[in-house]
Chain A
Amino acid sequence: MSTDALPSRSAGNAALAFLKKPLVVALILIVLLLAVGEWLSPGFASPGQILRLLIVAALLGIVAAGQNLVILGGREGIDLSVGGIVSLAAILAGNVMNGADGGILPAILVCVIVGALFGLINGVGVTLLRIPPLVMTLGMLGVLQGLLVVIRNGIPSGRAAPGLSDFVVQPFLLGLPGIIWLWLLIGLAMAFLLRRTVFGYRVYAIGSNEQAAFMAGMPVKTTRVALFMLSGVFAAIAGMCLLGYSGSSFANVGEQYMLPSIIAVVLGGTPLSGGKGGYTGTMAGAVLLVLLQSILTTVHIDEAGRQMVFGATLVALMLFYGRAKAMRG
């Protein structure tokens, strides 16, 4: 899909072009960071540690899947409400199942419906009323945060069912917990959706040139609404998994996913202008982000220093990815 890859004349150029691919950059950085982590604190790159890291990355990665879709759809697509939906899904799921395995299926149903519903409202606001996505989802975030206060006052916080917790933290198949398999499945599904279906082609077409896509007779509005609904659903699924990970939900657990989900997408090589990129890179971006945070917690510096290093490193990392072109006359 990327049109800016110049035809390379020599093998050296080809190699350079390969090394400039966001996914390749992210993978190299991941290996590099793992090595640094292992050097800083032996045992950091042990299989058990990596597995724990992947679980945390999967939670972020699932939220980022929806974020990625909305961003790909263009027209400054962005979803700031994902954090609120994650929190809402976590508390709803906790109440529906309330520690019983029998409640898992109804909880999934409730979460998916609620996520899709808020996504639908976002999508309708953005398409029919033509509210800029940033404004619409920012407003929705405020509504969701208010709703969380109401719910928290009305019902107890609820508990995760043992089955859900096992799904997230216990080995399920080949030593990997269910959530990793779920994430891989989502990765495959996203790749299939974006590269092999009409819907996927529409997303790229709308993201790169909405006017042209509209002229070509594509259902621009329906597609964009669907993207926002998918974003809500992915956030809701992540919220449920987060409940399984932490056992019970607490105030605004989801807030920590709002902006990092966008960062994961950008680090994965999808620019915020849309129409370019894909989910494989985002998955690597999520791992990279979690890895970086994890390294900083193993180093013995205080919270303040950790945040400063994290912020500075993020800026440095972004320098590898899609900087805007210099202005030319």
Chain B
Amino acid sequence: MSNTATQTSTGGLGRLIRRYPFLPALIILVLLLALNGVFEPRSLSFRSMTGLVSTYLALMMLAVAQTYVVFSGDIDLSAGSIVSLVNVSVIALMQKWGGDGFAVIAACLVGALIGLACGLVNGIVVAGLRLQAIVATFATSIFFTGLALTVLPVAGTPAPEAYWTTYGGRFFGIPFVLYAVAAVAILLAILMRMRLTTQMLAVGDDQQAAFQTGLPVTAIRIKGYVFCGLFAALAALCITGDTASGDPLVGGKMTLYSVAAVVLGGSALAGGFGTVTGSLIGALIIGLINALVFFVGTPSEWQNFVQGLAILLALMAGILVSRGARA
């Protein structure tokens, strides 16, 4: 829909949010951290924080994955099934190759390639064949799930010890996941400065205009899906470290959460506006909401409901605040 909001009342806050779209999300994040601290002081300790990150690193990666397609106004409902496929493939390969350090690294590389390939398939189907992203990626998600089931029909094969002890372990006193976070942060900082990110946002903002200025729109959208596939593969490596086993359906539930994380992070689903930083914060918000619902002592059968309600309210609040500021 055309944006009818007038761009006149540009207060200082408005300008700040346009520059940093993830600001409302950051405020929600800080608020949730404070609330978590009030109800369970120990939750703010270094150890609990590391635990939170290692549990939600997979969702953070998948949120980043989803962001790269949302930038150009697309969506990927197969992201979760790519996670599943890479998870079972990596597990199967590590088992086949003996489970030593070399096997682990080789399997991870192959996993990343599988993610890239899945992303390429999605890109060709959606942007190349010009199908509607929601339905087309749902169709490919069925296909990827089928592939995952071929690789590993039932959940259960364990990961080699070398893998999950590394993921959960410490090096020089610092947990491995923090190194992973740092590495990804550097990678994302580089990507953020690449011309491709701007091009994706331009395509998402106005596809026709982007085309008329000479941008290769189809190629840019395909690249978005390829990035999505790659980060979905990274998400799979994280989840493999966290659960230490293979499950052909492990990612299914994560797809919609990744979309929610992107929206929570202040990116517009219609494309053209957003940041990966916001999506990372969005994923953490989901994690902190889940933790908070537990810490305030919600009866176990009510936890899902309260979580769902809190996420819905956070989604609505985020959209209203950022629009109020942008208007």
Minimum CB–CB distance for B127 against chain A, Å: 9
Mark B1-41 against chain A: 1 for CB-CB distance below 8 A, else 0: 11010000000000000000000000000000000000000
Give the residue of A134, A266, A329 whose beta carbon is less than 8 angstroms from that of B132. A266
Give the residue of A138, A211, A262 whose beta carbon is less than 8 angstroms from that of B2. A211
Residues of A contacting B304 with CB < 8 Å? Answer: 145-146, 149-150
Classify the interface of chain B: helix, strand, loop or mixed: helix
Give the residue of B1, B136, B142, B211 whose beta carbon is less than 8 angstroms from that of A210. B1
- Interface stretch, picked from B161-169, B173-181, B272-280, B306-314, is B306-314
Q: Assess whether A75 is interfacial by the CB under 8 Å rule.
A: yes
Complex Cα–Cα for A75 and B3 (A): 12
> A259-B138, A304-B153 in contact; A141/B306 too (CB < 8 A)?
no
Q: Assess whether B42 is interfacial by the CB under 8 Å rule.
A: no
A318 in contact with B136 (CB, 8 Å): yes
Complex Cα–Cα for A143 and B309 (A): 5
Minimum CB–CB distance for A294 against chain B, Å: 16
Complex Cα–Cα for A314 and B140 (A): 8
Chain B CB within 10 Å, residue with most, of A80, A136, A150: A150
Q: Assess whether B256 is interfacial by the CB under 8 Å rule.
A: yes
Total residues of chain A contacting the partner, CB 8 A: 57
Residues of B contacting A130 with CB < 8 Å? Answer: 319, 323
Q: Assess whether A139 is interfacial by the CB under 8 Å rule.
A: yes
Give the residue of A138, A146, A314, A327 whose beta carbon is less than 8 angstroms from that of B256. A138
B131 in contact with A263 (CB, 8 Å): no
Name the residue of chain B whose CB is nearest to the CB of A260: B138
Minimum CB–CB distance for B8 against chain A, Å: 19
Minimum CB–CB distance for A91 against chain B, Å: 14
> A303-B149, A306-B146 in contact; A266/B312 too (CB < 8 A)?
no
B217 in contact with A327 (CB, 8 Å): yes
Minimum CB–CB distance for B71 against chain A, Å: 16
Complex Cα–Cα for A130 and B301 (A): 32
Mark B268-303 against chain A: 1 for CB-CB distance below 8 A, else 0: 011000000000000000000000000000000111
Q: Assess whether A272 is interfacial by the CB under 8 Å rule.
A: yes
Residues of B contacting A304 with CB < 8 Å? Answer: 146-150, 153
Mark A249-279 against chain B: 1 for CB-CB distance below 8 A, else 0: 0000000000100110010000110000000
A-B contact pairs, 12 of them (CB 8 A): A76-B270, A131-B316, A134-B75, A134-B259, A135-B269, A142-B260, A146-B307, A147-B305, A259-B135, A263-B139, A272-B132, A310-B146
10 further A-B contacts with Cβ under 8 Å, apart from A134-B259, A303-B153, A304-B147, are A129-B320, A131-B316, A132-B269, A136-B315, A138-B256, A149-B305, A150-B302, A266-B135, A311-B140, A311-B141
